[in-house]
Amino acid sequence: MTFRVHLRVMPRDGLLDPQGQAVEHALTALGFEEAGAVRVGRAIELAVAASSRGEAEAKARQMCDKLLANPVTEDYLLEVEED
Amino acid sequence: MTFRVHLRVMPRDGLLDPQGQAVEHALTALGFEEAGAVRVGRAIELAVAASSRGEAEAKARQMCDKLLANPVTEDYLLEVEED
Amino acid sequence: MTGSGIAGAFTETVALPGERPITPEVVREHNLNELEYGRILDLLGRIPTLTELGVFSALWSEHCSYKHSKPVLRTFPISGPLVVQGPGENAGVLRLPEGWAVAFKIESHNHPSAVEPYQGAATGVGGILRDVFTMGARPVALLDSLRFGPLDRPRNRYLFAGAVRGVGDYGNCVGVPTLGGEVNFAPGYTGNPLVNAMCVGLLRERDLIRAAAEGVGNVLLCVGARTGRDGIHGASFASEELSEASESRRPQVQVGDPFTEKLLLEASLELITSGLIVAIQDMGAAGLTSSSAEMAARGGVGVEIDTGLVPTREEGMTSYEILLSESQERMLVVAEPARVSEIQAVCAKWELTATSIGHVTDDGIFRVRHHGQTVVAIPGQRLLEDCPIYHPEAEEGEEARARRSALDLGEPVVDIEGALELLLDHPSIASKRWVYEQYDSTVQAGTVLPPGSDAGVLRVPGTDFGLAVSVDCNSRLVALDPYEGGKAAVAEAARNVACTGAIPLGITNCLNFGNPEKPDVFYQFREAARGIGDACRAFGTPVTGGNVSFYNESPAGAIDPTPTIGMVGLLPRVEDRIASYFDSPRDEVYILGETSGILGGSAYWAEVCDFVGGYPPSVDLESELRFQRFLAAAAEQQLLRSAHDCSEGGLAVALAEAVIGGPYVPGSLGADLDLTGYAPDVPVDGLLYGEDGARAVVSCAPPSSRFLIALANEHGVPVFHAGRVQSAGALELQVGPHVFSWSTEALRRIYFDAIPRRMQHPDVDRAAGE
Amino acid sequence: MTRVAVVRFPGSNCDFDTLRAAERYGAEAYFVWHRDVDLRGADVVILPGGFSYGDYLRSGAIARFSPVMQAVKQHAAGGGPLLGICNGFQILCEAHLLPGALMRNAGLTFVSKPVDVTVERTDTVFTADYETDSRLRLPVAHGEGRFVAAPDTLRMLESEGRVVLRYVAATERSPFQPNPNGSANHIAGICNAEGNIVGIMPHPERAADRLLGLTGGSGFFTSLMAWHQAPKMGVQSR
Ligand SMILES: Nc1ncnc2c1ncn2[C@@H]1O[C@H](COP(=O)(O)OP(=O)(O)O)[C@@H](O)[C@H]1O
Ligand SMILES: [Mg+2]
């Protein structure tokens, strides 16, 4: 089976996020006062071939730890869904 | 109430996605043959103050249409959850 | 004054409730030894608070106190007719014609770059930019000196790619052209890369501003980014109890924000030129602590700040954290109270905030409150001056001595002809186009010679003159003979500058070494510094500032000693600038200088004979000086079409680079040369690949020949007619019985592809790890 | 004399270069701050290069909302000449004053080097002094210069001849790739239907001075000096 993996790789909490700051600033300037705490990261989507959802997730985590996220500056969240 | 909005802004299907290609290539080179169809976009997280989930989502959509996504090149998906 | 200070200090400071008591362990965690802690006790006349201990540990760290290097640095020549500002300020300043002055400085960011190459390099550039524009100078050029382990290891490729991207993204965004630099790859840097960044700025001399707090009652303003828990390094764990679990949230990595830097740059220059402020300093290493304490000490005054007033990025930051945070893109400004609102208006225009956090006092005390509560009160002068100074033992390492006198050459892996191709393919010698095409080198529309020549050249706006800039160091030579190596680094930087036709004016230096408490490392340091000093005295190029980076060690041991020299030169008529490459067919080719044939420490022995050793050629400072003066004169008389100095790879590599030409010429030229009579008694490998200094490959239009020769004789510079530039095809070279022929297109491909072909997949590289 | 307004956004960094280049060719050039709402009687408006708002989110995405953009749009709507260089081009696309978008370079790295382009439109205010199909060597310096547009938009741009600059394909001995960033159809610059709004990625202001080695860009500035006599299309008198 193949699964679709949705990844969100976000800057570590406490790390300065200049991009998030700029976007928040811009939203406020556009009158979206209700918006706050903006963080900007990377979204990655990929197909993973695996025999089970669990296996797909495990593989996706390996990919994150090895390549997709920079452990020094980023945290990641992933969702797996059947294709 | 405030809601957390998770946004995924992805390059339009059919548009060349060099980042996605590079990541896919890297994954294969690292032996993750099971991975494919990689797309790389932007993940945005923000807090939205609103009286209802529906209102929060509506506001988030406005923000996307106005600023956060470029209609020419990007599609977006959003999830809203209570804080 | 100080006396009353101590009395005051003695009584007023109290430990915070729940604050960790000062135990020998806590002292050790702050990297303070017994001697140092003893000094603190009798300086205060009491036990310090934890926050005070943090302050001492920051200011008495090697980085801030120079406690192992001061006595050696004092031996540098720092004065001269053009020196406006020598070492001790944020950057050195030299006088230029027509009321202009140049501010320049180089800084290391090695350790952050080893952890996170992209952010480490980016914030390194940010810091050096601030050092320059806080002097009132507009940054007009960046240079970067990079050192990594060999590119066959993925980790090294990852560090290289990340550092280059970091330098580029930051400088490109701020809008300062990167005009030059160097990249070197050697096993000694595996596990401990070097990232040194240099910035050059221009100012009207009258706009120069120094970072000295003055005027009792004047206000201290915090300008720019908010303060977060960024890089509160060695001291971090010590403050755990202060903010429980903050440790987990405290990132060791500082993230750069070049956009805020650009706003800070424009706002600072506007504040300085409008005369609204008394003094300004960047919050660099040890952030608010060092900037405020140093500004006070320079002005011979005291300061009082309340960390509770500092805008923070995170909730519940303690005074300790705020004082020691190294958040980027922040400035500390001193101004008269009446000016504050105008200052805030200027900052607001640039979308920045300026917040009053304290004032200048008359009691000489460095005093910090947190929401009113006094947490630090230390006599200011003594805080900066009482740190013990060390005179470590210095003795040359056995191994270095052995390598120098040894002579165990391996079998050459290629013949003398093939050696040229092998050297041009070595990433340290090959074209750095892969690097400098990631750097904006033309923004500000003042770039007269972009990266790719011996030195970068820029025009000073609205004048006829320009500046030439270069950074250089050959650490192989320094490792073998630190004294000669130190001289050689200055000589090469001066040669690079001189080859554009410029007159060397002065240097800044970044001294990257291992652990100074090791006698062999300190010997390298002391001797290299002695060499630098002697060379600068001989050339009349004072040392205007610099930076020392010790403890560059990896499991494998100390790095190769790397005293990087940043040189600035003046081109009186910038249109006279000389490029490095041959220009036109039929131009005459000359070799300047003499060749001894010594191969000690050469790239040829290292790469072709697998031997790093032997006695490097000693640097003849007099002939280097004659060489520099001759080139300046030849440029002024517009006699030269090209000039390229000999450095790594010797005469052969210099000839090849001159023939190959720049990256954007449609095709390479050729040359037909005969060196038979040049150095008759020198073996051909030494002649081609020896690395004697004071040499260059130059070309001139045929009619200029006689004037060139006359001028060379006049300056006592040996000049040998080697042949002619050809329209295309090959580099043909005869040396007595030896005849060599290299296809220039082939050389060109090797030279330009060497790095790109090794840098195909940087993303894969990080994952692949070691 | 031609009055040239150079708009400064926070993060603009080619503002001085552009102002000086315009002045060198005799224009009366001045800065307009992004918060201003008045272009002070500008004949020609230039959005210079740089990193407005740090290029955060997408280059040009935030600058597009600066107060000054209202006046800029009115100026252009009245047929006034408007040039966007590099980041300025990105802003024009984000503001929908020009079609398409500029995305991350195909090579994924920042690209700084001279490139060869051909001038395909010589009836705009900014290119009138060039011969059609003349070749220029201009510096590029950008990380997001890959022009993309929907297929029908591309077709329209080509059929209406709205490609102003195009990267020259690498000829046998030329050291240049066909195209430094992967732009569709090698497009380096385009204009709107009326021809008064032009956006280009290369930097003519860095190639308008003999001393800097490149002079191919000077035509942009000599052209705009003659803006009122010239172009066949676009500009109506104010
Ligand atoms: N890291 C770098 N950044 C920018 N330019 C560089 C870098 N490394 C090398 N260069 C440029 O490449 C050219 C050759 O460098 P190098 O071989 O060190 O010259 P040299 O031997 O004359 O010192 C020089 O113009 C130099 O400025
Ligand atoms: Mg050189």
* CB-CB under 8 Å, C767 with B22: no
Tokens 């952050």 belong to which residue? C112
Considering the candidates C30, C68, C109, C370, report the single residue annotated as catalytic. C109
Q: Whole-angstrom Cα distance, residue C592 to residue C697?
A: 6
Q: Whole-angstrom Cα distance, residue C283 to residue C130?
A: 9
The ligand with the least distance to the CA atom of C451 is 1
Residue identifier of the C-alpha nearest atom 24 of ligand 1: C452
Q: In this predicted structure, what is the pLDDT of residue C213?
A: 86
Asked whether residue C581 carries a pLDDT value surpassing 90, the answer given is yes
How many angstroms separate the Cα of D236 from the Cα of each of A48, C643, D43, D195? 59, 54, 11, 12
Q: In this predicted structure, what is the pLDDT of residue A71?
A: 85
Helix (H) or strand (E) holding D29: strand D28-33
Reported as a single tens digit per residue, the pLDDT across A17-61 is 999 999 999 999 999 999 999 999 999 999 999 999 999 999 999
D130 touches chain A (CB under 8 A): no
Reported as a single tens digit per residue, the pLDDT across C345-394 is 999 999 999 999 999 999 999 999 999 999 999 999 999 999 999 999 99
Gap between the terminal Cα atoms of chain B: 8
Contact yes or no for C694/C646 (Cβ under 8 A): no
Arithmetic mean of pLDDT, C439-456: 97
How far does the centroid of ligand 2 lie from the alpha carbon of residue C753, in Å?
Answer: 20
Asked whether residue C251 carries a pLDDT value surpassing 80, the answer given is no
Which is it for strands C670-674 and C456-459: parallel, antiparallel or unpaired? Answer: unpaired
B61 touches chain A (CB under 8 A): no
Asked whether residue C238 carries a pLDDT value surpassing 60, the answer given is no
> Which of A12, A13, A15 is the best residue to mutate to test the C interface, defined by the most C CB atoms within 10 Å of its own CB?
A15
Reported as a single tens digit per residue, the pLDDT across C527-580 is 999 999 999 999 999 999 999 999 999 888 899 999 999 999 999 999 999 999
Asked whether residue D185 carries a pLDDT value surpassing 50, the answer given is yes
Asked whether residue C7 carries a pLDDT value surpassing 90, the answer given is no
Q: Using CB atoms and an 8 Å cut-off, which of residues 203-242 of chain C contact chain A?
A: 225, 228-230
ipTM for the assembly: 0.94
Q: Whole-angstrom Cα distance, residue D116 to residue D99?
A: 23
Contact yes or no for C142/C197 (Cβ under 8 A): yes
Interface A–C counts its CB contacts (< 8 A) at 44
How far does the centroid of ligand 1 lie from the alpha carbon of residue D10, in Å?
Answer: 32
C109 is catalytic: yes
- Cβ count within 10 A of residue C681: 6
Helix, coil or strand: residue D56: coil
Contact yes or no for C149/C187 (Cβ under 8 A): yes
Beta partners for residue C204, in sequence order: C100
Closest C-chain CA to A64: C767
Reported as a single tens digit per residue, the pLDDT across C501-533 is 999 999 999 999 999 999 999 999 999 999 999
Q: In this predicted structure, what is the pLDDT of residue C557?
A: 87
Minimum-distance CB partner of B22 among C763, C767, C768? C763
How far does the centroid of ligand 1 lie from the alpha carbon of residue C489, in Å?
Answer: 14
Q: Which residues line ligand 1 (CB under 6 A)?
A: C 144, 146, 178, 180-183, 432, 435-436, 439, 451-454, 456, 472, 496, 647
How far does the centroid of ligand 1 lie from the alpha carbon of residue D85, in Å?
Answer: 29
Q: Whole-angstrom Cα distance, residue C54 to residue C293?
A: 13
How many angstroms separate the Cα of C430 from the Cα of each of C96, C420, D114, D225? 34, 11, 21, 45
Share of chain C above pLDDT 90, in %: 82
SS (H, E, C) D105-146: CCCCCCEEEEEEEEECCCCCCCCCCCCCCCEEEEEEEECCCE
List the subunits that have 3+ CB pairs under 8 angstroms with B. A, C, D
The ligand with the least distance to the CA atom of C457 is 1
Helix, coil or strand: residue C312: strand
List the subunits that have 3+ CB pairs under 8 angstroms with D. A, B, C
Helix (H) or strand (E) holding C449: strand C447-449
Contact yes or no for C118/C168 (Cβ under 8 A): no
Q: Whole-angstrom Cα distance, residue C565 to residue C539?
A: 14
D203 is catalytic: yes
C334 HSE (CA, 13 A, CB side): 30
Q: What is the mean pLDDT of chain C?
A: 92
Q: Whole-angstrom Cα distance, residue C487 to residue C106?
A: 18
Beta partners for residue C194, in sequence order: C147
Residue C451: closest CA among C144, C735, C7: C144
Q: In this predicted structure, what is the pLDDT of residue C146?
A: 98
**Res. C231 pLDDT band, cuts 50 70 90:** confident
How many angstroms separate the Cα of C219 from the Cα of each of C360, C361, C611? 6, 10, 61
How far does the centroid of ligand 1 lie from the alpha carbon of residue D209, in Å?
Answer: 25
Instruction: For residue C681, give every residue at least 6 positions away whose Cβ sits within 8 Å of its Cβ, in sequence order, or none.
Output: none
Nearest Cα of chain C lies from the Cα of D206 at a distance, in angstroms, of 5
Instruction: For residue D211, give every residue at least 6 positions away whose Cβ sits within 8 Å of its Cβ, in sequence order, or none.
Output: C448, C459, C574, C575
Interface B–C counts its CB contacts (< 8 A) at 13
Q: In this predicted structure, what is the pLDDT of residue C16?
A: 66
Minimum-distance CB partner of D112 among C351, C441, C446? C441
Q: Which of C148, C172, C182, C424 to mutate to test the pocket of ligand 1 (most atoms within 8 A of CB)?
A: C182
**C574-583, D20-29, D156-165, D174-183: segment of lowest average pLDDT:** D174-183
Helix, coil or strand: residue D87: helix
D56 touches chain A (CB under 8 A): yes
* CB-CB under 8 Å, A17 with C253: no
Reported as a single tens digit per residue, the pLDDT across C724-755 is 999 988 999 999 999 999 999 999 999 999 99
Instruction: For residue D177, give every residue at least 6 positions away whose Cβ sits within 8 Å of its Cβ, in sequence order, or none.
Output: D170
Q: What is the mean pLDDT of chain D?
A: 92
Q: In this predicted structure, what is the pLDDT of residue C38?
A: 94
Distance, C-alpha C722 to centroid of its chain: 36
A22 touches chain B (CB under 8 A): no
Arithmetic mean of pLDDT, C427-437: 98
Asked whether residue B9 carries a pLDDT value surpassing 90, the answer given is yes
* Nearest-5° Cα angle at C144, B19 to C259: 60
Residue C278: closest CA among C372, C351, C343: C343
Q: In this predicted structure, what is the pLDDT of residue D171?
A: 57
Q: Using CB atoms and an 8 Å cut-off, which of residues 671-710 of chain C contact chain B?
A: none
Helix (H) or strand (E) holding C111: helix C110-115
Arithmetic mean of pLDDT, C678-690: 96
* CB-CB under 8 Å, D109 with C438: yes
Reported as a single tens digit per residue, the pLDDT across B14-64 is 888 999 999 999 999 889 999 999 999 999 999 999 999 999 999 999 999
- Cβ count within 10 A of residue C496: 29
How far does the centroid of ligand 1 lie from the alpha carbon of residue C607, in Å?
Answer: 20
Contact yes or no for D166/D138 (Cβ under 8 A): no
The ligand with the least distance to the CA atom of C470 is 1
Strands (E), C225-349: 279-282, 302-306, 330-335
Looking at beta carbons, which residues of chain A come within 8 Å of C116? 70, 72-73
Q: Whole-angstrom Cα distance, residue C678 to residue C655?
A: 14
Reported as a single tens digit per residue, the pLDDT across C124-176 is 999 999 999 999 999 999 999 999 999 999 999 999 999 999 999 999 999 99
